[in-house]
Amino acid sequence: MKRFTVVILLNLIIVTSIFAQKREKTPIGGRPNIKGDLFLELGFNTLNNKPSELNTEFFKSRTFNIYYQYPINIGEKSGFTFNPGIGIASDKFAFEGGKNLFNNPEIGPNSSKLLPVTEVYGNNINVGVNNVGINFLEVPLEFRYHFNKNNYDKSVRFAFGGKVGYLFQAQTKISYTNPAGLERKIKDRQDFGFNQFRYGVHARLGFPGFNLWGYYGLNEVFQKNKGPFNTQATQFNFGVSVALF
């Protein structure tokens, strides 16, 4: 996953350089003269329309996204821009009760069920890290309205649009210590019944260098009858973001 992520990030840098204007020196703390935005998003995620068994721990269920978006003006000083982009989105789910996803052999290889980690690896273990991560290559598309029509970079703005993502990796990560003091770290990479594609709507309230954002998934997180409890859960993410340039 690390090598794949590095390749994607290098591609993002190449795309950025293609669209970038000639860079000029700026004062310390100033914004480089590069066309577009590189957003770093931090936040939390949760599942909607789910059984209580799929409740997640709030602070351990985190989201990390990085996107580059290029502005296309709509009209002259209209305040509106169209901003397509590309990026990587990573979500981690930590289920309550020390549970995690495991393959469901009754359904097949691309499936999952939710079990306590102690039921799989032993009742007398001390569980440390315990989460499932999903990583997407995403294309965000949004329209923005800038309240300061003379200087978009220094304007408060509102954005609304959608995102389409392709799942390139899903894995569980579990670490525990057994009664003999042996530490084990286990990463299990498989599909777990997750949908290969996801899409949804998102909104952003932005200030110069700082944004509040939210995302609501429109399709189900798991494929039909492939996830735990045949869930039809959808996803909701929210958080803050900063513009690196």
Predicted local confidence at residue 210, as pLDDT: 87
So what's the pLDDT on residue 209? 79
Is residue 25 scored above 50 in pLDDT? no
Give residue-wise pLDDT tens across range 61-78: 999 999 999 999 999 889
Cβ neighbours for 79, distance < 8 A, ≥ 6 positions apart: 145, 146, 147, 149
Cβ neighbours of residue 193 closer than 8 Å, sequence gap 6 or more: 104, 107, 110, 111, 112, 222, 223, 226, 227
Helix, strand, or coil (residue 175): strand
Q: Average pLDDT for residues 29-51, to the nearest whole number?
A: 85
Q: Which residues are CB-neighbours of 35 under 8 A, at least 6 positions away?
A: 19, 20, 21, 70, 71
pLDDT at 31: 53
Q: Both tokens of residue 132?
A: 């499932």
Dmax over CA atoms of the chain, in Å, equals 70
How far is the C-alpha of 81 from the C-alpha of 76, rounded, in Å? 10
- Give the span between the Cα atoms of 7 and 117, in whole angstroms: 33
pLDDT at position 34 is 73
pLDDT score of 213 more than 60:
yes
Which of 189, 199, 194 lies closest to 228 in space, CA to CA?
A: 194
For 108-121, how does the pLDDT look when each residue is reduced to its tens digit (9 = 90+)?
999 999 999 999 99
Structure letter (DSSP) for residue 120: H
pLDDT of residue 15: 46
Query: Rounded to an integer, what distance in angstroms lies between the CA atom of residue 186 and that of residue 64?
Result: 22
Share the mean pLDDT of the chain: 89
153 or 241, greater pLDDT: 241
CA gap 40, 168 in Å, rounded: 20
Task: Tally the C-alpha atoms within 13 A of residue 44's C-alpha that lie toward its C-beta.
Answer: 8
The string of pLDDT tens digits covering residues 175-195 is 999 999 999 999 999 999 999
Tell me the per-residue pLDDT of 128-187, one tens digit each, with 9 for 90 and over. 999 999 999 999 999 999 999 999 888 999 999 999 999 999 999 999 999 999 999 999
Average pLDDT over residues 36-45: 95
Q: Is 50 helix (H, G, I), strand (E, B) or coil?
A: coil
Split at pLDDT 50, 70, 90, the class of 245 is confident
Buried b or exposed e, range 41-55, using 16+ CB within 10 angstroms? bebbbbbeebeeebe
Structure-block tokens of residue 225: 């009858």
